[in-house]
Structure 1
Amino acid sequence: MPFRGDPRACARWPAGTRLSGAVLAAAFLLAAAAPPAHARTGERQADLPAAVDAAVAEYRAATGLPGAAVAVTHGTEAVHLAGYGSTPSGAAVTERTPMAVASVSKSFTALAVLQLVDEGRVDLDAPVRDHLPEFEMADPRAADITVRQLLDQTSGMSDTTFGAFSRPQPASLREAVAGMRSAGLAAAPGERWEYHNPNFQVAARLVEVVSGASFSDYLDAHVFDPLGMADSSTNDTDQDLPPSAYGHVTLLGRPVAAPEPPAFGNGSGGVVSSARDMAAWLIAQHGGGRGADGTRILSADAVRESHTPSPGADSYGLGWQVGATPSGAALVHHGGDLFTSTAYQALLPESGHGVAVMANTGMAAGDASAIAEAVIAVIEGRETPPPGQSPLVVGADAVLLGLAVAAVPLAGLGVRRSVRWGARRVDAPSHGTVLRLLPLAVPVVLFAGIHRVVGFLYRGRDVAWIQVAYLYPAFLLLLGLAALGCTAVAVARAAALVRARRAAAR
């Protein structure tokens, strides 16, 4: 999102790019004169690991990214699995290190639902309530929400009518669904697409009720175990993640280790996995629902449907986004953003490659998707601009921190001068004095409600106050010190005025 599952991480490249007929003709002539395709592919696969390692090393050197894990697959093979750097505790990141995949989890939830559809236990186009009677909302139109509309995010549910993060956080999927009873809809079901994490929390709860197992146990038995994903699990809250899945915020261009802010995310963002396990997952997706050893976890038709945009859902399928790479090749992908880590997965149907990246810096950095772009460029034989941090971002942090430091002595000066201020206003009318003090309340009010301002700027996305500290730490520090300083000056002036007036009365 930029909150858990923010669609920015799901749409990095333009969709619908197509080659002209002339370019296709030229490509055909070049192909006729070139070595056989399998020979070129074999050469690229042999060189791929070293090229990926070099791209990641260059990226980490330029950005200071502490740790990342990368999986690259081709057909039924994992052609490159690697960990780079370290976790916040200093442990080396390896191909077996469990890391958060954030909203990439939505693809797992969609697959779990589609498994039940394959078995005939769930009707994808039936109302959710047919399978989950406990799903109630204040808006009567919610009775028409279908299972498909949860997975393609056209249910009409919205951050603007249900604050998933700013409300008290649930402890289970049952509580998450129960908490929606007072919520309304922003649109009629099927009317428009809108990214909303609770869609997938309802879907995960549906899996629990229909299967009779907890969502965690269901994924273990029907996805992780059959594919040999021994490092993977799903978690209710961000506080349940293993230590290796925590990450960093970025300040002055440098990573600072931080715990993930409290939030519920099972179904929408709770999966933890490793590079090794994500390779198994990508192979099954490319293989029409079959793992590398032939184990089937989903029908080919259901996999194909999940990778196909739904009508009215823009480029969103069922837990997957559909688009194109800069070269015009088809791309099926999904990103995931937490506040201290990011993830990205991509399938390249035309070449048969899959890419998964997990990075232990938060959404403000966008490192996982950036590394994935570089890896896909390597696969496609394209050049990419050299990576690096924006000097504007680092400079802005420096300015904000400088202002924050300056706010402290300025507040002290205001407090010391409050006696003179009170003496000057002994005979002033009260309403005029209040108007003079009122501007000091602006930083206080803004500090208390900054999450609402940020949510508005992000087009109505719901934001908890603590999450702003992870997105804009330098700004929030400045705002907090300004609010504290203004409060101190206002109290000192009011006290000085009271004393001055009492002295004048005597």
Structure 2
Amino acid sequence: MKKGIVFILALLLAACSAGYYLLGPQPITLKGSTAADTDSYVSAKMQELGIPGMALGIVNGGNTYLKGYGRADSAGKPVTPSTPFMLGSTTKSITAAAVMQLAEQGKINLDERVTAYLPDFRFKDAQSSALITVRQLLNQTSGIAGQAGHSDYWNDKSTSRDFVFALANESLLSAPGKRFEYAEANYVILGEIIAAVSGQSYESYIREHLFNPLAMAHSYTNRADAEQGSLSAGHITWFGLPVQTKLPYPRQYVSASSLFSCAEDLTHYIRMYLQDGSYNGNAVLSAESIKSIVNPAVTLEHPAGYSYGMGWFVKENLIMHDGRPTNYYSILLISREKGAGVVLLANANNRLITAEYLMPMAYELMNVQTGEPTLPQGMSFGRMYATINILFLWVGVLLVFRIILTFTSWRKKVSGIPTRAGVVIKGLWPDILSLALVGLLFGYLLNAYGVPLQVAYLGQPDIVCSLFVFLLLPVINIVCRVMLMLNSHRKGSI
């Protein structure tokens, strides 16, 4: 009877999953390059992904297309091309540009050791860390681990200077210059170098030497100023639905992932790359510095076919970087050969799912502009999340059903759960297997992020919370069955 109930329940859930997969939303494609095609595509994708607001900027030759979509917050304020969003790691190319400005002035030598500019900079292995150069920080080949400094990620009182000093308690992942390892710490350190050699704070330098010359009037170096400039509220996706969420501002990461900008301003930034470092006739960077920034310095295993330059992923004549600051998303794509670029900003995210649909969306918009083939469409976002939700529901129901059977058998003193210790332990194998599988999935999730659990939770809270529940339920069942065994033993049943 019990097996029959479980079988019927599993069959019903499987049928619901298969039905939704077959009849659910189909992938959305971009039909052409007109403004109407673009608006239709972005609006449909925004609805599919459950994103409240997005902003788009397209540069193609001398033309610029700008558009805001949806709402910036729960009050319904509309998104415009000048609405600021948090950039996340798209910040890195801006920091690289600032370093190259100072290199042009002779204030920074890219092949000089970091300790020449920050004498107190060190890791546990002070001898090895003393060999790290500025160029290695820019190219992410310093040997610094991806998780370095992340234990203090959401401390909004900490500064980048505090962050750099705290690295003295960390170990290097590898010898400097030996391998690529994407690490926020590289660009936090660069921010401190900029401050040290320029004689002004990183924030002040960026405003004066990049934002002002590029007429980036709605770009900001801290959240307080961005909020004064009508910052779009961030959202985290829970089971496919956006939830407005304000997180602590990690200001210590300002030079790595914590700048703010808008679609309109970032089209100015794109033009600087398309015009060999100039904007509106003003030289912001030299053509030689631009070439150095986008030069493919180190070949990557992932993503396949890409190299890393200075704050940019490089593939042939295309440069790209995206940002995934938990509750926002940003991406910049530039083809210097075709004279085109795309900026796409969103005010909702979760890092492992939503972001993986937003990036191809930007590539699709770019490919239409440059005449490249459109990308093959995979499973739609709706189908993906429906599959995950139904799978998680199925697993959760089965785990809860096991606990119900345990309690029912115990309360009614039915012999459905054997009381001999060996047999009880043998009956726990489904729970032990569940714990092992969920543990492995947790390990994969943390490895995919390269961050501590608290950061992974904020990036993908629905999945992390579900996995915690799936860990807890088997533990509850194990405890109940062991208590039954002990209770029976005390009464002399064994």
The two structures share one fold, judged by TM-score above 0.5? yes
1:411 and 2:403 are equivalent in the alignment? yes
1:186 is matched by which residue type in structure 2? L
3-state SS of paired residue (2:348): coil
Question: Could you say which residue in structure 1 is the equivalent of 2:279?
Answer: 291
In structure 2, distance between residues paired with 1:449 and 1:381: 43
Between 91-100 and 345-354, the greater mean CA deviation after superposition: 345-354
Aligned to 1:83, which of 58, 63, 68?
68
Aligned to 1:119, which of 89, 105, 108?
105
Deviation of 1:309 (Å): 1.6
| Alignment CA distance shift 1:451-1:425 (3 Å) | closer
In structure 1, distance between residues paired with 2:256 and 2:174: 21
Deviation of 1:356 (Å): 0.9
Query: Are 2:442 and 2:467, in contact at CA under 8 Å, matched by a contact in 1?
Result: no
Between 141-150 and 310-319, the greater mean CA deviation after superposition: 310-319
Query: Are 1:401 and 1:478, in contact at CA under 8 Å, matched by a contact in 2?
Result: no
In structure 1, distance between residues paired with 2:249 and 2:428: 36
1:102 is matched by which residue type in structure 2? G
Query: Are 1:404 and 1:477, in contact at CA under 8 Å, matched by a contact in 2?
Result: no
Question: Could you say which residue in structure 2 is the equivalent of 1:149?
Answer: 136
Per-residue deviation, residues 372-420 of structure 1 (Å, max 9, x unmatched): 2222122124563686436244223222124324533442332343464
Equivalent positions of 1:56-455 (< 5 A) are: 56-74=42-60, 77=62, 79-89=64-74, 90-139=76-125, 140-159=127-146, 162-166=147-151, 169=154, 171-235=158-222, 244-249=232-237, 251=239, 253-259=240-246, 265-292=253-280, 294-310=281-297, 315-324=307-316, 330-362=317-349, 363=351, 364-365=353-354, 366-382=356-372, 384=374, 388-389=380-381, 391-418=383-410, 420=413, 428=421, 440=431, 451-455=442-446
Per-residue deviation, residues 335-359 of structure 1 (Å, max 9, x unmatched): 2223333211122212322211112
Between 469-478 and 51-60, the greater mean CA deviation after superposition: 469-478
Per-residue deviation, residues 426-476 of structure 1 (Å, max 9, x unmatched): 7748xx8677668756766877886543234x3xx5222244445655544
Question: Could you say which residue in structure 1 is the equivalent of 2:29?
Answer: none
Per-residue deviation, residues 307-334 of structure 1 (Å, max 9, x unmatched): 112256762111122214xxxxx21222
Query: Are 1:249 and 1:258, in contact at CA under 8 Å, matched by a contact in 2?
Result: no
In structure 2, distance between residues paired with 1:421 and 1:464: 45
1:399 is matched by which residue type in structure 2? L
| Alignment CA distance shift 1:438-1:183 (3 Å) | farther
Deviation of 1:127 (Å): 0.3
Between 311-320 and 114-123, the greater mean CA deviation after superposition: 311-320
2:72 is matched by which residue type in structure 1? T
| Alignment CA distance shift 1:166-1:404 (3 Å) | farther
In structure 2, distance between residues paired with 1:261 and 1:450: 27
3-state SS of paired residue (1:188): coil
Report the count of equivalent residues. Answer: 443
2:446 is matched by which residue type in structure 1? G
Query: Are 2:328 and 2:348, in contact at CA under 8 Å, matched by a contact in 1?
Result: yes
Deviation of 1:295 (Å): 3.0
Deviation of 1:51 (Å): 4.3
3-state SS of paired residue (1:265): helix
Q: TM-score, normalised by structure 1?
A: 0.76
| Alignment CA distance shift 1:199-1:418 (3 Å) | farther
In structure 2, distance between residues paired with 1:307 and 1:376: 18
In structure 2, distance between residues paired with 1:503 and 1:311: 70
1:122 is matched by which residue type in structure 2? I
In structure 1, distance between residues paired with 2:174 and 2:219: 36
Query: Are 2:357 and 2:381, in contact at CA under 8 Å, matched by a contact in 1?
Result: no
2:363 is matched by which residue type in structure 1? E
1:105 is matched by which residue type in structure 2? T
Query: Are 1:355 and 1:376, in contact at CA under 8 Å, matched by a contact in 2?
Result: yes
Query: Are 1:138 and 1:182, in contact at CA under 8 Å, matched by a contact in 2?
Result: yes
1:212 is matched by which residue type in structure 2? G
1:130 is matched by which residue type in structure 2? A
1:131 is matched by which residue type in structure 2? Y
Query: Are 1:469 and 1:476, in contact at CA under 8 Å, matched by a contact in 2?
Result: yes
In structure 2, distance between residues paired with 1:72 and 1:175: 38
3-state SS of paired residue (2:471): helix
* Structure 2 unmatched ranges of 5 or more: 1-32, 301-305
Between 187-196 and 276-285, the greater mean CA deviation after superposition: 187-196
* Structure 1 unmatched ranges of 5 or more: 1-46, 325-329
In structure 2, distance between residues paired with 1:99 and 1:500: 61
* Alignment RMSD (CA, Å): 3.5
Query: Are 1:450 and 1:465, in contact at CA under 8 Å, matched by a contact in 2?
Result: no
Query: Are 1:235 and 1:265, in contact at CA under 8 Å, matched by a contact in 2?
Result: no
Query: Are 2:223 and 2:249, in contact at CA under 8 Å, matched by a contact in 1?
Result: no
| Alignment CA distance shift 1:230-1:337 (3 Å) | same
In structure 2, distance between residues paired with 1:421 and 1:152: 66
In structure 2, distance between residues paired with 1:148 and 1:389: 39
Percent of aligned pairs sharing the same letter: 28
In structure 2, distance between residues paired with 1:476 and 1:266: 27
2:282 is matched by which residue type in structure 1? T
Deviation of 1:176 (Å): 1.5
Query: Are 2:432 and 2:474, in contact at CA under 8 Å, matched by a contact in 1?
Result: yes
In structure 1, distance between residues paired with 2:415 and 2:397: 27
| Alignment CA distance shift 1:371-1:439 (3 Å) | closer
| Alignment CA distance shift 1:57-1:490 (3 Å) | closer
In structure 1, distance between residues paired with 2:467 and 2:320: 38
2:265 is matched by which residue type in structure 1? D
Query: Are 2:424 and 2:481, in contact at CA under 8 Å, matched by a contact in 1?
Result: no
In structure 1, distance between residues paired with 2:223 and 2:347: 20
In structure 2, distance between residues paired with 1:200 and 1:114: 13
3-state SS of paired residue (1:228): coil
1:274 is matched by which residue type in structure 2? C
Question: Could you say which residue in structure 1 is the equivalent of 2:30?
Answer: none
| Alignment CA distance shift 1:415-1:166 (3 Å) | farther
In structure 2, distance between residues paired with 1:372 and 1:165: 29
Deviation of 1:218 (Å): 1.9
3-state SS of paired residue (1:234): coil
In structure 2, distance between residues paired with 1:427 and 1:409: 22
In structure 1, distance between residues paired with 2:212 and 2:152: 35
Query: Are 1:97 and 1:274, in contact at CA under 8 Å, matched by a contact in 2?
Result: yes
In structure 2, distance between residues paired with 1:212 and 1:451: 45
